[in-house]
Structure 1
Amino acid sequence: MKKRIALLCAALFCLYLPTALAQVSVGDSGTLTGRVFTDYYWMAQNHDSDLEGKNGFWMRRIYLTYERSFSEAFSSRVRLEMNSAGDFSTSAEMIPNVKDAYLKWQNDRHQILAGISSTPTFGLTEDVWGYRSIEKSPQDLYDFGSSRDFGLSFKGSFDNDERLNYHFFVGNGNSNKPEVDKGKKVMVSLGYYLTEHLVIEGYADLNDQENQDIKTAQVFAGYQSETFNLGALYSFQHRESDIIGGDPTTELDLVSVFSNMRLHDSLKGFLRVDHMFDPYPGGSENSYIPFAENVESTFIVGGLDILLEEQIHLMPNIEAVTYGEDSTGERPDMDLIPRITLSYNF
């Protein structure tokens, strides 16, 4: 019986092989790439006593991306994403979801993307920060917006030198998930390179949801070079809600300053500080690093980036969160999370 099963598997493999080789042979115009970042974490100290002492391994992200060029004008991308739950309770296996799925048209300076694609909310911030493998950008970490949306995106440069750039997006306002209401989200950013290395950007959005309207405005300045990056962000968000039992109006102010520097050919250092002047709504549900709610918070992360091989990075780092006092004068304990992060591309 075992022999018959082995012969059947061999026959199926022989039938499948020509198809597999045919699929791979289209690689002249398409590429398949991947990215992984994973941690060993230790909740050395936490405002939630149930989390204190927890430790282990998790996959914070796995990306698989296929990109295909049809012509000089048209191309497409499909990206799948999967990750561990990060809620310290779910033990289910990782399930892939669609991160990107779009068709792009472009000429020399302008692009139009249709489908699920990157929003302008924090794309430039994340580029200058440069360490998505360590932590989300400030706006992403505090849920000021999503990195993706489903809709139409228009982006490009107004000048031949590509100093004045724009990104306009009309989407569902529900990230990469299906539409669930009648409203839409409109996002726009305008960036200007003062020099080759120094850029400033203004951003605004309006998200018309069924039970609340959300408006965001922010300014960002960044410096980028091969040896040193520096970024400074201020973001403001106004939320009006008619949900019964909820706050009718919520205003959030966020500031962030971050930097990374090359210390040696195979060694870099990074440091970032975020401060929320208002309580973080829903912060206790944040994946991988739950925040105490109803208090101000300051988030700090720093570490080293060791280049083991090209595309392979080992990054010891520490995340910490300190809190202000609540309405009763109590101050939650500080969160302290030492980690070893491994990031690699293929």
Structure 2
Amino acid sequence: METQHPVVLQLTAGNLKKRMMRYFRCGIALLSLLLTGTLYGQGRVSGLAFGDFYYIARHHNAELEGQNGFWIRRIYLTYDQKLDETFAWRLRLEMNSPGNFTAGNATPFVKDAYLRWKLNDLHALYLGISSSALFNLVESVWGYRSVEKAPADLQKLGSSREFGVALKGRLTRDGRVRYHATFGNGEGTKAEGYRGKKLALALQFFPSRPLILESYVDYARLQQGASLTTWHLFGAYRTEGFRAGVVYERQRVRAAGGSDRMLRYVSGFVVGRVQERMHLLVRMDRLLDPNPKGASISYLPFATTSKATLWILGVDVAVAPQVHFIPNIEWITYDQEALRADLYLRGTFYFRF
């Protein structure tokens, strides 16, 4: 046994050294960003963080019932720099706690890394890792990513990022018709793992100041000859103190052998100001098909064998302009009577700088 101790210590030291080197490199990168913005005054550093204290009062998975704790669901550190009147670039790092209810450290990774090329006053080209068109507008109008993801993001219909090329802009001078098109790997922030690509297009309409409409479609070639098609329709009404929206989305995955898998949902939300620094938020997601990926959803795993309904109710209290405390509940009911409902009680915090 004594002859094995040095080996165990050596492996432990090696793992520790690798981890420390990883954190050291990230620290150097962040310090470089800060110094660049300070010395030259041409860039801007910004960031945000949100997380919760959570308690799972009940769950269809008995192993999770009663679980509680603190976690960070997102930390952003972003550096933006304008190179000239035509070009600008962004680097954003993200880190978060593990979402599978296991202990672990927040590991940083690159979330955005793109060069923006302003073609003219109406259109801009993005090269690298940038936001996808799938739920960018839906999430913006919903406005509470700190509480929960947009439905398409939550149910894993696609990634929030696309690694490739994107074109965004206005089709009319007044900005009432806009678009967002992407062509890329279709694997989020990851490099290409197969030959297939993903093409997506979102058309956005703003017929009057409070009204917002969007039509979205994408097509992707998957591994082993499979393909994926997604489309949605989104409508919203937004004023200074009130907003509401409804989105219907459908995704079809077609295997090489011809068998299809469908995932559909409809979601609606309402957010209203009740006091100067207080808002109420209500959201309902109706899952019209069981989601085979449901068990792997971070922080909010769904049962994979049943249709489901998610209710979200929360109160947003702005204790300062950039600091919010949002107590909320998430309640999931299933069509299968044998499945217990899921009830999450959470105290969410959010701040930005």
What is the TM-score of this pair, normalised by structure 1?
A: 0.90
Cα distance between partner residues in 1 of 2:184 and 2:311: 32
Contact 1:166 1:189 in 2 (8 A): yes
Question: By how many angstroms is 1:206 displaced?
Answer: 0.4
In the TM superposition, residue 22 of structure 1 has moved relative to its aligned partner by: 5.7
User: Is 2:239 the partner of 1:225?
Assistant: yes
Q: CA deviation at 1:310?
A: 1.3
How many angstroms does 1:171 deviate by? 0.6
5+ long unaligned stretches in structure 1? 1-18
Deviations 1:138-197 (A, max 9, x none): 110011111101000001001111000011100101110110010100000111111011
Query: Could you tell me how far apart the structure 2 residues matched to 1:34 and 1:219 are?
Result: 31
2:196 is the counterpart of 1:189: no
1:277 aligns with 2:277: no
C-alpha change, 1:222 and 1:26, in structure 2 (3 Å) is farther
Residue 28 of structure 1 and its aligned partner are, at CA, apart by 2.0
1:294 to 302, 305, 310: 305
Amino acid at match of 1:105: W
- 1:285 deviates by 1.1
Of 253, 259, 270, 1:239 maps to 253
SS at match of 1:44: strand
Superposed, 1:307-346 pairs within 5 Å as 307-325=318-336, 330-346=337-353
Report if aligned partners of 1:63, 1:82 keep a CA contact under 8 Å in 2: yes
Matched, 1:82 2:95: yes
- Contact (CA 8 Å) 1:39, 1:59: kept in 2 or not? yes
In the alignment, structure 1 residue 64 sits paired with structure 2 residue 71: no
Q: Does 1:96 align with 2:104?
A: no
Aligned residue among 148, 161, 173 for 1:148: 161
Distance 1:80 1:20 in 2: 11
The separation in 1 between residues aligned to 2:316 and 2:64, in whole angstroms, is 27
Higher alpha-carbon deviation: 33-42 or 105-114: 105-114
Q: List per-residue Cα deviations over 1:92-130 (Å, max 9, x = no partner).
A: 211101110000011311110000000110011001100
Task: Tell me by how many angstroms 1:259 deviates.
Answer: 1.3
- Indicate how the Cα distance of structure 1 residues 239 and 20 shifts in structure 2: closer, same or farther if over 3 A, else same: closer
Match in the other structure for 1:46: 59
- What's the C-alpha RMSD, in Å, of the aligned pairs? 1.5
Q: 1:261 aligns with which of 250, 268, 272?
A: 272
Alignment of 1:117-136 (within 5 A): 117-136=130-149
Identity of counterpart residues, as a percentage? 40
In structure 2, what is the equivalent of residue 201 of structure 1? 214
- Cα contact 1:128–1:223 (8 A) shared by 2: no
Distance 1:21 1:80, change over 3 A: closer
Report what 1:9 is aligned to.
none
Partner amino acid for 1:324? D
**2:155–2:293 CA contact under 8 A, matched in 1:** no
The residue type paired with residue 88 of structure 2 is S
Give 1:248 deviation, angstroms. Answer: 2.8
C-alpha deviations, 1:220-247, integer Å up to 9, x for none? 001111100111000011101248xxx9
Asked if the contact 2:36–2:43 (Cα under 8 Å) also holds between the matched residues in 1, the reply is: no
Helix, strand or coil: the match of 1:338?
strand
Corresponding residue for residue 263 of structure 2: 252
Shift of residue 21, structure 1, vs aligned partner: 8.8
Residues 1:27 and 1:140: Cα distance change in structure 2 (over 3 Å): farther
**Alignment-mate amino acid for residue 146 of structure 1:** S
3-state SS of paired residue (1:128): helix
Specify which structure has the higher proportion of helix: 2
AA at the equivalent of 1:208: R
Aligned to 2:229: 215
Give 3-state SS (helix, strand or coil) of 1:124's partner. helix
In the alignment, does 2:161 pair up with 1:178?
A: no
- The alpha-carbon deviation at position 281 of structure 1 amounts to 1.3
Note the 1:10-21 alignment, pairs <5 A: none
Secondary structure in 1 aligned to 2:246? Answer: strand
Query: In structure 1, how many angstroms separate the alpha carbons of the residues matched to 2:314 and 2:342?
Result: 16
C-alpha distance after superposition, 1:14-52 (max 9, x if no partner): xxxxx9996343452101111000100000010110000
- Residue 137 of structure 1: which of 147, 150, 168 is its match? 150
SS of equivalent residue, structure 1 residue 275: strand
List per-residue Cα deviations over 1:59-108 (Å, max 9, x = no partner).
0000000000001111000100000011012x221110111000001131
